[in-house]
Amino acid sequence: MLKKINSILRHTYEDVEAGAALYKQSCGNKLDKRVIIVAIISAISLVFIEYVGKDPGYRMLVDFSNSIGLTGFSTFLIHNLEQSANSQLNRLAFWIAIILIFYLAVPIITIKLVFHEKLSDYGFRIGNVKKDYGIYLVMMIIMLPLVYLMSRTNSFQERYPFYNLRTGESLYPNFWMWEALYFLQFIGVEFFFRGFMLHGTKRQLGFYSVLFMVVPYCMIHFGKPMPETFAAIIAGLALGTLSLKSKSIVPGILIHYSVAIAMDFAALYQKGYF
pLDDT tens for 220-242 read 999 999 999 999 999 999 999 99
In angstroms, how far is CA 135 from the centroid of its own chain? 20
Helices and strands (DSSP H and E) totals, the chain: 14, 0
For the chain, what is the mean pLDDT? Answer: 94
Give yes or no for a contact between 213 and 240, defined as CB atoms under 8 angstroms apart.
Answer: yes
Residue of 246 and 127 predicted with greater confidence: 246
The pTM of the full predicted model, rounded to 2 decimals, is: 0.95
Q: Which of 3-17, 90-104, 119-133, 141-155 has the highest mean pLDDT?
A: 90-104
Q: Is the pLDDT of residue 3 over 80?
A: no
Burial of residue 224 (CB within 10 Å: 0-12, 13-18, 19+) is middle
pLDDT score of 208: 97
DSSP per-residue string spanning 24-70: HHHHTT----HHHHHHHHHHHHHHHIIIIISTTTHHHHHHHHHHTT-
Phi-psi label, residue 32: left if phi above 0, alpha if psi -120 to 50, beta otherwise: beta
Give the mean model confidence (pLDDT) for residues 46-57: 96
pLDDT score of 1: 65
The confidence band for 64, taking pLDDT boundaries of 50, 70 and 90, is: very high
Task: Indicate the DSSP class of residue 170.
Answer: -
C-alpha dihedral, 15 to 20 to 21 to 24, nearest 10°: 170
The confidence band for 32, taking pLDDT boundaries of 50, 70 and 90, is: confident
